[in-house]
Structure formats: C-alpha cells, structure tokens
Amino acid sequence: MHIKLNKGLQNNIIYSLLFIFLITAASNCGNPQKEVSEVRSSMLIRVDSLWGYLNQVRGRFIFKLDEFEKRKSLMEKEIIRGNFIDGSQLNEEQKMAFIEYERIHRLYKGLGPKYKNSVLEGENSYYSIKGLENQVKKGIYDKDVPKFLSEYTVIKNDLLKCRQTTFEVTDRLKGMETLFMRVDKEVLAILDELVPEKE
C-alpha cells in the first residue's frame, strides 16, 4: 500500500530527518563541548525562523485590538437612527451610502472577532517561541533533538495557521478602510440633518 504525502509534509519530513542525521553524526565524533554548541546553534536557527514568521504576523496588526468591536457598536446605533428616516427623504446616492454602511457593518461583525483572535494568537505564539528559545539555551534539548523538533513543529504549524488567517483578515479590513471613512462621514451627515440627536 502506498501513502501519498503532500509536498509540504514531505519536505518537513526530509528536513527533519536531515537535521537529526547531522546532529547524530556530530555527536559521534569530535569535541563533546563543541558538539553541544553546534546542536544548540542548529536549534536556535530554527527558533529564529519562528521569530521571522511572528514578525510577519505582527506587521499586519495596524489596528487596535478592539477597534472593530467599537466601530460595530457605534454603527449599530447609527443604523437604528437611520430606521427613523423615510426612504422618500433620501436621494439614490444617499440610499447607496446606507446600503454600503450596512454592508461594512456586517463585515465588521464577521471579521472583527477574527482580527482580535489573530492578535491574541500572535501573542500566544510569542510566549511559546520565547519559552522554546530559553529551553534551548539552557540545554534542555541537547540530548533530545526529537523532542525539540516536536515542540518546534507544533509552534510552527500554529504560527503558519495564524499567519494565513491574519493575512486574509487584514487584507479585507484594509481594503475596506477608505470606503468606511467616506461612507461613515456621509451617513453621519445625513443622520445629523434628518434625525438630529437630542441634547
């Protein structure tokens, strides 16, 4: 029976086996102290790659943690105010502004929590990587490379999932930012004119 593996998994297996082979080969000859140093250096190179992935994720966090929750709440209040406007009072352009406004509101309801979750997952990854790095420096994995690889792989897989979600969510949010700024201003102007808030 043949089991077909995807290319990414094959590469991970190949690199992991090569990594173990090199470390094992180094442990069978030469200066023991130098061998330990080389083992740790190889591990720290992998840890550095995790920091690289995390920096890519963090670079996408250009909004505050609860930015979209706040916007969503404010928009809900304005949508309720808008319900008091008779449609005959609006021209086609103004009606379109309200349609866009409600569409953005729905987008924030779906993507806002995902953005917040991505930020929190990114922070969790930071502490996971920091913990792994400290353990490597302390020599915890000097004689247990497979355990290091196991911990490294778990963190890497979680981080790559977080990166994918973060990129997808922030791309959509950034793409809506200019539209939100314009429509929000238009809708508030219409509401202040037709349904002024009581002081």
C-alpha to C-alpha distance for 15 and 163, rounded to whole angstroms: 22
Per-residue pLDDT, 158: 97
Could you tell me which of 99, 115, 116 has the C-alpha nearest to residue 174?
115
C-alpha to C-alpha distance for 196 and 147, rounded to whole angstroms: 65
pTM of the model: 0.79
Domain positions in the chain: 7-194
- The pLDDT confidence band at residue 30, using thresholds 50, 70 and 90, is low
Specify the DSSP element, H or E, that contains 48. helix 32-58
DSSP 110: H
Q: What is the pLDDT of residues 88-140, one digit of tens each?
A: 999 999 999 999 999 999 999 999 999 999 999 999 999 999 999 999 999 99
